[in-house]
Amino acid sequence: DAGVIQSPRHEVTEMGQEVTLRCKPISGHDYLFWYRQTMMRGLELLIYFNNNVPIDDSGMPEDRFSAKMPNASFSTLKIQPSEPRDSAVYFCASSPGVGNTGELFFGEGSRLTVL
């Protein structure tokens, strides 16, 4: 079975540019989560969706960050404009709905470097 698929795996961009990260969750999973990992702050939950609807975006650091889930098989995290402090690894994770015990299934991450 295919796991969570993220793209791109690596992105290097210059300050001020728009960055779009993409995620395809596991088929049949109702929940999708975006996390950010940095050395200083560890793993932070940015936003999560249930059945394509954003439930909690309190972790989104600034208005420069936005996330969408237009359908059950695709989500994007956009940063516009990007800044050097946005450099991090961004993970997408999904989990099933009914009978969910909280286990998250993670993608391999998108490593973003903003110069």
Partner 1 sequence: AQSVTQLGSHVSVSEGALVLLRCNYSSSVPPYLFWYVQYPNQGLQLLLKYTSAATLVKGINGFEAEFKKSETSFHLTKPSAHMSDAAEYFCAVTSSSGGGADGLTFGKGTHLIIQP
Q: Which residues bind partner 1 (CB under 8 A)?
A: 4, 31, 33, 42-43, 45, 48, 50, 56, 91, 93, 95, 97, 100-109, 111
Query: How far apart are CB 65 and partner 1 at their closest, in Å?
Result: 16
For residues 81 and 106, which CB has a smaller minimum distance to partner 1 in the complex?
106
Closest to partner 1 by CB, 17 vs 100, is 100
Number of helices followed by number of strands (H, E) in the chain? 0, 11
**Three-class DSSP labels, 70-111:** EECCEEEEEECCCCHHHCEEEEEEEECCCCCCCCCEECCCEE
Residue 8: cis peptide before it, omega within 30 degrees of 0: yes
Q: How far apart are CA 59 and CA 90, in angstroms?
A: 13
Smallest distance from the beta carbon of 99 to partner 1, in angstroms?
8
CB of residue 92 vs partner 1: minimum separation in angstroms?
9
Nearer to partner 1, 69 or 93 (CB): 93
Other CB atoms within 10 Å distance of the CB of residue 104: 17
Query: Least distance (Å) from partner 1 to the CB of residue 16?
Result: 27
Which residues, in sequence order, are bridge partners of residue 7?
22
Pick the closer one to partner 1 by CB: 68 or 81.
68
